[in-house]
Amino acid sequence: MHPPEALLSDEFDPGFRTSLEALIRLRRDVRHFRTDTVPQATLTRLFNLAGLAPSVGLSQPWRFVLVEDAARRAAIRANFTQANAAALAQQSAARAGLYARLKLAGLDQAPVQFALFCDPDPEQGGGLGRRTMPQTLAYSCVMALHTLWLAARAEGLGLGWVSILDPSGMAALLDVPHAWQFIGHFCLGHPATHDSVPELEREGWETRRAVQVLTR
Amino acid sequence: MHPPEALLSDEFDPGFRTSLEALIRLRRDVRHFRTDTVPQATLTRLFNLAGLAPSVGLSQPWRFVLVEDAARRAAIRANFTQANAAALAQQSAARAGLYARLKLAGLDQAPVQFALFCDPDPEQGGGLGRRTMPQTLAYSCVMALHTLWLAARAEGLGLGWVSILDPSGMAALLDVPHAWQFIGHFCLGHPATHDSVPELEREGWETRRAVQVLTR
């Protein structure tokens, strides 16, 4: 599993960098999926790549939970529906109609669904680097997820992050240690379409803006 | 700046995927830097790529702050030294010696240093998607940082995350709005060496383990 030695000292070539930029630019938060399955070998490869993400003190605190059971999937869908209704009530009348039309979850279509939790006190890593900022554990989990997201897009797969959930019941719902911190729930599969522009931008909800960098 | 249309519908090719895997595998948390500078055009390109990261509700809450002033750099170094001493005192005697030998910051060598903050209540995005999990704003910032990290490595540059800091004083130290949430401080530059194995693993501190995926 070791890379060619040449890559250790050499630069990645310009063609790769151009494609990497395209990957970053074309990665979408996908909500519309085809229902055909994702091969197990592909899933395994994606999770293994996620495990190469940076983690504070090499603690690797990410805990992935594939959700296959129909009753658990239904319970997550119910959690989403309730949280989504509450979110809708908070929006102004003018935006509520638009908000309601945005399909915010692929929960009904995506063939693969998984949750991501963070172990808030992993033995691995010996506590290194996180005394003043324990939230770096959650941040490590997010980088693992983001690694998987990019790698999935490179395989033509799409991922959608379902953040409109009440996190408090997720550990019990999925029968994992109650101390585990819920990071997010994710839909994965072949996207119905490959879009170059985010859905929220296409729908007129919001537009991307240039990064502002302050100097001090 | 739009990608070739071909990339919208076609798969990325196997050669790209192999190189992407190498990039993910070879990205290191760099602590030892050469002191030569990074061209401004490179920095601009990296920050612009970071701005293409996913963000909840397209809120783009990341706020990057380049730290160039010598007095501010010294203040951050002092913050690190104090937090590091406290962390050292918490380690067992057996590990303290090893811990002390690990150089945990490139603060004295890296030509580029920047902090990352999160706007905890950005107007952009209209609040979409974060009512139940406001921490998704910070997670969005982490994905922007991780995007920059990978893109930097593809250019032969290294990045190091300095997490051993007391976050409470960082907004005041860098004269940014006090409400902004400190995510991390980062060193960027040409790495002294390209390593295929994490420093913590080389030094015997910790070893990476395979990802465990539960099924429910």
pLDDT at B199 over 90: no
pLDDT at B87: 81
Q: What is the pLDDT of residues B168-193, one digit of tens each?
A: 999 999 999 999 999 999 999 999 98
pLDDT at A171: 96
Q: How many distinct structural domains can be found in chain B?
A: 1
Give the DSSP letter of residue A13: P
CA distance A120 to chain B (A): 15
B66–A213 CB contact, under 8 Å: yes
Question: Pick the residue with more confidence: B206 or A49?
Answer: A49
Question: Pick the residue with more confidence: A65 or B107?
Answer: A65
Q: How confident is the model at residue B101 (pLDDT cuts 50, 70, 90)?
A: low
Burial class (CB in 10 A: 0-12, 13-18, 19+), B40: exposed
pTM of the model: 0.93
- Buried b / exposed e over A148-184, threshold 16 CB at 10 Å, is bbbbbbbbebbbbbbbbbebeebbebbebeeebbbbb
> Is the ipTM of this structure higher than 0.90?
yes
Q: What are phi and psi of A143, to 5 degrees?
A: -70, -35
% of chain B residues with pLDDT over 70 = 90
Q: Measured between CB atoms, which of B47, B60, B129 is closest to A164?
A: B129
User: Is B156 inside any structural domain?
Assistant: yes
Number of neighbouring beta carbons within 10 Å of residue B48: 16
Question: Pick the residue with more confidence: B156 or B93?
Answer: B156
The whole domain housing B42 covers: 28-202
Q: Which two tokens stand for residue A99?
A: 């908000």
User: Is A69 inside any structural domain?
Assistant: yes
For residue B212, the chain A residues in CB contact (below 8 A) are 63-64
pLDDT at B7: 45
For residue A69, the chain B residues in CB contact (below 8 A) are 216
| CA B86 to the chain's CA centroid | 23
Q: How confident is the model at residue B6 (pLDDT cuts 50, 70, 90)?
A: very low
Q: pLDDT per position in chain A (216 positions), as tens?
A: 444 444 444 579 999 999 999 999 999 999 899 999 999 999 999 999 999 999 999 999 999 999 999 999 999 999 998 888 888 887 777 677 766 666 667 898 899 999 999 999 999 988 888 889 999 999 999 999 999 999 999 999 999 999 999 999 999 999 999 999 999 999 999 999 888 899 888 888 889 999 989 999
B208–A56 CB contact, under 8 Å: no
B54–A149 CB contact, under 8 Å: yes
User: Is B62 inside any structural domain?
Assistant: yes
pLDDT at A2: 46
pLDDT at B1 over 50: no
User: Is A34 inside any structural domain?
Assistant: yes
Question: Pick the residue with more confidence: A5 or B41?
Answer: B41
pLDDT at A143: 98
Q: How confident is the model at residue B100 (pLDDT cuts 50, 70, 90)?
A: low
For residue B124, the chain A residues in CB contact (below 8 A) are 206, 209
Which chain A residue has its CA at the smallest distance from B166's CA?
A132
User: Is A74 inside any structural domain?
Assistant: yes
Which chain A residue has its CA at the smallest distance from B18's CA?
A3
Helix/strand/coil for A167: helix
Which chain B residue has its CA at the smallest distance from A68's CA?
B216
User: Is A137 inside any structural domain?
Assistant: yes
User: Is A208 inside any structural domain?
Assistant: no
Domain CATH for B101: 3.40.109.10
**d(Cα B39, Cα B44) in Å, to the nearest integer?**
9
User: Is A216 inside any structural domain?
Assistant: no
Across the range B139-148, mean pLDDT stands at 98
